[in-house]
Amino acid sequence: MLQVTASSSLQSISNLYPFQICNNPIEPAQLHALSIKTATFNDPKISSRLISLYTHSKTHTLDDARQVFDQMHQPTLFSWNTLMKSYVENQRSQECVFMFVEFISLSGFTPDVFTLPCVIKGCGRLMAVKEGEQIHGLGLKLGFGSEVFVQSSLVSMYSKFNDIDSARKVFNGMSEKDLITWNTLLDGYVKCGEIRLAKELFDQMKERDVVTWTVMVDGLSKCGNVDDAKKLFGEMPKRNLPSWNAMINGYMKAGDYGSARSLFDQMEDKNIITWNSMIAGYECNTRFSEPLKLFLELLNLGCVPTHSTLVSTLSAISWLALLNKGRWVHSYMVKNGLELENVLGTSLIEMYCKCGCIESALKVFKVISKKKLGHWTAIIVGLGTHGQAKHALELFNEMLRVNIVPNGITFIGVLNACNHAGLVKDGKRYFDMMINEYKIEPTVEHYGCLVDILCRAGQLKEAKNVIEQMPMKPNKIIWMSLLSASRIYKNIEIGEYAAQHITKIDPKYIESYVLLSNLYAATGNWDKVSHVREMIKKTGVKKDPGCSLIEYNNEVHEFVVGDKSHPQTVEIYDKLSEIRDILKSVGHVADKSQVLLHIEGDDEKEAELESHSERLAIAFGLINLKPGIPIRVVKNLRVCNDCHSVTKHLSKVYNREIIVRDNSRYHHFKDGLCSCMDYW
Ligand code: ZN
Ligand code: ZN
């Protein structure tokens, strides 16, 4: 305990300069009280040190320090500097800059060599370009142009502003440069993508530390130059965690997940950034089953996932439509009190939509109290793709009512919804609204939606006009919409026109030949059907084997066409023959027009249809999932006509909701109908 004897003892305490970081929580407050009691508070030496103590104290906030400052009759230059510096160091840069303005107009002091670096740092953090340049000018006027502290903070500030030329100018004028300044400039070059100049600087450097090397490895990795990154990584005299992480990122960016993984396995110390690099890397490289495995592994090790861990994991789960896994991650989030009012809410809504569970997506949407654009967009897009057009448009209008400004993706959701509901007029109106009211330039996706709206309504000529007048080159998807509509509306002329364009873009795209052949078959042009088959043979491309996934008992069961490898194969084929009898009794006639393999006999064609992967998955679902539980299947290809009408029957006969996500949309089969209204 400090004894309150006389002001001299306090004086002697305050002479213990420099003051050490005060670990004892009572000390600053005690000194404060003491200084008031002994009427020494106004001694600039004492109050300055009090501020210093408060700013370093773990139990006091900067606001306490500020209070002392505000009570001082005449704050010293030291106090001004201490407080400004503390603001920057505690991520309160704005207060630092405000205080500097106050300092210039009120303090009566001239900034010194300690004042400027911290304000410059603050400007850099705030990206306050104009203020930063003004302070630079002031520094020159005051004669600090060649002060190393000031110069190196300017190099850092201009690098942050992406103004690498100004950074270089200051750098070149420096008579002595420390390694930190070299590294700062190097980092600046890397951040603005000037990798060649960065390499030049790197080669010039006489001294390099682990930061230098890591910045370079990271830069090369980020610009996709993984070979050079690997070379440097190999040459590094010493590596730290960020160096390993940078290299892993490099491999993942280059799609070399094998090398990334082997590096990952070699690492003894990993941090959450390492895990995130791996998880996001796998997700970007469409290795969707890996992120979840890693996520579980990191939880087992007691690591705490960050937002980006969860976002990548949920995205991977969405691609595989692993609803139960998704629910599990959701409950993890709830248990750990993670807020949904940010990107996590959006991820969760998207996950439920992509897993075909729109009800849960809506539930999540409803509990988010401060809904942002991302949340609204995710739910509107989700409802749109699930065929719940009315609901999607209602929410869109509500969103406008609460003054949330839509973006381009929101409009994709809106246009999709109009498409599903066959709302041609509304679709056109929203398209115009997007351009004229919200000044959003339509992208190729928006045109794709508009074309599809017209196609679905059978307005093929108008759709063709839109395609021909688009400002950008139409893509394969748009031509496929037109071709697919031509098949449905039996328009050979436009169908052939679309198919020609697809062949120009992607001569080996088999789905377009399949559609064209279906169109010919539907219009009885059998010569042309065999001609298309010849063309397919010539391309030498085999159709991707159909593949369907279904989740059961926390496992993903995968079926390819004609699959007989599943342990329950016997039961599955028994179920299929039961289904065959049922279909017969309800008068179903197999639609063989889409069987395009070299299969001749009718029975064989029927057998081929029967073993389509989604039917195996649905049969598996009927056997294993309890009555009332919807069957959810994800398929890699477009659902064929016959499977579509069979699934409709099955939904009615077995009184089962069946949700199939194919490569273009969702089909909700219920009571003998599909949400796509037979257009896909
Ligand atoms: Zn099929
Ligand atoms: Zn459908």
Ligand 1: centre distance to CA 535 (Å) = 22
Q: Give the pLDDT confidence of 480-507 residue by residue, as tens digits.
A: 999 999 998 999 999 999 999 999 999 8
Sorted by sequence, the CB contacts under 8 Å of residue 583 that are 6+ apart come out as 646, 649
Q: Give the pLDDT confidence of 503-521 residue by residue, as tens digits.
A: 999 988 888 888 898 889 8
Ligand 2: centre distance to CA 665 (Å) = 8
Q: Give the pLDDT confidence of 290-332 residue by residue, as tens digits.
A: 898 899 999 998 889 999 899 999 999 998 888 889 999 999 9
Ligand 1: centre distance to CA 641 (Å) = 7
Mapped onto helix, strand or coil, the DSSP state of residue 674 is strand
Q: What is the pLDDT of residue 3?
A: 38
- Once rounded to an integer, what is the mean pLDDT over residues 232-260? 91
Please state, rounded to an integer, the average pLDDT across all residues of the chain: 88
Q: Give the pLDDT confidence of 427-451 residue by residue, as tens digits.
A: 999 999 999 999 999 999 999 999 9
Q: What is the pLDDT of residue 52?
A: 81
Ligand 2: centre distance to CA 674 (Å) = 5
Please say if the pLDDT value at position 231 is more than 60: yes
Number of C-alpha atoms within 13 angstroms, CB side, residue 350?
Answer: 21
Ligand 2: centre distance to CA 430 (Å) = 25
Ligand 1: centre distance to CA 609 (Å) = 5
Q: What is the pLDDT of residue 8?
A: 44
Residue 601 DSSP class: S
Cα–Cα nearest to 555, from 546, 547, 563, 566? 566
Ligand 1: centre distance to CA 639 (Å) = 6
Q: Give the pLDDT confidence of 463-479 residue by residue, as tens digits.
A: 999 999 999 999 999 99
- Once rounded to an integer, what is the mean pLDDT over residues 558-563? 89
Please say if the pLDDT value at position 419 is more than 60: yes
Q: Give the pLDDT confidence of 265-298 residue by residue, as tens digits.
A: 998 888 899 999 999 988 888 788 889 889 999 9
Q: What is the pLDDT of residue 13?
A: 43
- Domain 446-539 in this protein, CATH class: mainly alpha
Ligand nearest to the CA of residue 561, numbered in listed order: 1
Q: What is the pLDDT of residue 228?
A: 93
Ligand 1: centre distance to CA 85 (Å) = 69
Angular region, 197: left φ>0, alpha ψ -120 to 50, beta rest: alpha
Task: Say which residue, 641 or 235, is predicted with more confidence.
Answer: 235
Please say if the pLDDT value at position 17 is more than 50: no
Q: Give the pLDDT confidence of 159-197 residue by residue, as tens digits.
A: 999 999 999 999 999 988 899 999 999 999 998 889 999
> Are 449 and 479 contacting, i.e. CB atoms less than 8 angstroms apart?
no
What are the b/e assignments for 470-506, b being 16+ CB within 10 Å? beeebbbebbbbbbbbbbbbebbebbebbbebbbeee
pTM for the full model?
A: 0.72
Please say if the pLDDT value at position 4 is more than 50: no
The DSSP secondary structure of 64-96, one letter per residue, reads HHHHHHHH-SS--HHHHHHHHHHHHHTT-HHHH
All CATH 1.25.40.10 domain ranges in the chain, comma separated:
446-539
Ligand nearest to the CA of residue 660, numbered in listed order: 2
Strongest mean pLDDT among 15-29, 225-239, 545-559: 225-239
CA distance 133 to 166: 10
∠ Cα 254 508 475 (to 5°): 75
Please say if the pLDDT value at position 595 is more than 70: no
Ligand 2: centre distance to CA 238 (Å) = 58
Q: What is the pLDDT of residue 571?
A: 95
Ligand nearest to the CA of residue 662, numbered in listed order: 2
User: For the chain, percent helix, then strand, then coil, each to nearest 5?
Assistant: 65, 5, 30
Which residues have beta carbons under 5 A from ligand 1 (an ion)?
A: 612, 640, 643
Ligand 2: centre distance to CA 676 (Å) = 4
Using a pLDDT cut of 70, give the percent of the chain over it: 94
CB atoms within 10 A of CB 637: 21
Cα–Cα nearest to 108, from 138, 66, 147, 80? 80
- Once rounded to an integer, what is the mean pLDDT over residues 607-636? 91
Using a pLDDT cut of 90, give the percent of the chain over it: 56
Which residues have beta carbons under 5 A from ligand 2 (an ion)?
A: 667, 674, 676
Give the number of residues written for the chain.
680
